[in-house]
A and B are shown apart, each in its own frame.
Chain A
Amino acid sequence: MAARVSFIFRIIVGGIFLFAGLAKISDPARFILTLREFDLFPDITVRFTAVYLPWLEFLLGLSIILGLLYRASSLLLAFLNTAFMLAILSVILRGMEVDCGCFGLLADVLKLPDMADMKAVLRNAVFAGMCLYIFLAKKTAVSLEGYLSRKDTDI
């Protein structure tokens, strides 16, 4: 049962971050402008984050879906989601109304809500919880790691 729940969480979380990463990779300029609105870091950090973070999200999403290095990926994603929550909370506490920038171009295309508000904080909290579940679950169903380790024991 836990293995199946872990698998479902992997598909949901992995899929969301894979597409969110791809949406931001395709439009880094837009992501920079969104990050600048948060007014948290100096410009060089913002530019570096706009280049690096989308690829990190994409690879973490891919790794979780495939079930390869998925524990490490889920732990990293839990940490990332916590960081996102703190960033959004800081915006809320400063009374700013900005785009969350979570889904980039995808938010416009699919008309997804993407403001930095309490809904975004709750959403990230749920994702962090799912990632922690994936990390702590003893087993997961349908994973590349499971397949490879079975292959090793067969040899």
Chain B
Amino acid sequence: MPALFRHLIKSQEKMRRIIIEILLILIISLFLSLIYNAVSPSGIRILPKKSEKKAGITGGGVIVRSDVARVVR
């Protein structure tokens, strides 16, 4: 019986460790992706602008930062 409890506790510790590692990977990749998207010229807008929301524009074209820069110039 004690061996079974030891085995269950060890399995629980292993699963807890795996879950923590999974969360770590998810959070690190989230930060990296958002930072890269913010600084990259090929970054894209994730949230629609208020003006787009009001006009009911829900997508269609994809605008990247470098395209906007070219149009502005």
Q: Which residues of A contact B59 (CB under 8 A)?
A: 36, 43, 46
Does the CB pair B64–A51 fall under 8 Å? no
Q: List the A residue with the shortest CB-CB distance to B64.
A: A29
Q: What's the Cα separation between A47 and B63 when bound, in Å?
A: 11
Determine if A73 and B64 form an interchain contact, defined as CB atoms under 8 angstroms apart: no
B44 touches A51 (CB 8 A): yes
Question: Is the contact region of chain B dominated by helix, strand, or loop, or is it mixed?
Answer: helix
Once the chains bind, are B44 and A50 in contact (CB under 8 Å)?
yes
Partner of A29, one of B25, B42, B46: B42
Interchain CB contact (< 8 A) of A72 among B22, B37, B48, B62:
B22
Separation of A28 and B18 alpha carbons in the complex (Å): 30
Residues of B within 8 A of A139 (CB): none
Q: Could you tell me which B residues sit within 8 Å of A by CB distance? A: 18, 21-22, 24-26, 28-30, 32-34, 36-37, 42-48, 58-59, 62, 64
With known contacts A28-B37, A32-B62, A59–B21 Cβ distance under 8 A: no
Complex formed: what's the CA distance from A93 to B7 in Å?
A: 44
SS of A interface (majority): helix
Residues of B within 8 A of A51 (CB): 33-34, 37, 44, 46
Question: Which residues from chain A contact B44 at a C-beta distance below 8 Å?
Answer: 28-29, 32, 47, 50-51
Q: Decide if A76 touches B22 in the complex (CB within 8 Å).
A: yes
**Cβ-based interface call for A63 (8 A):** yes
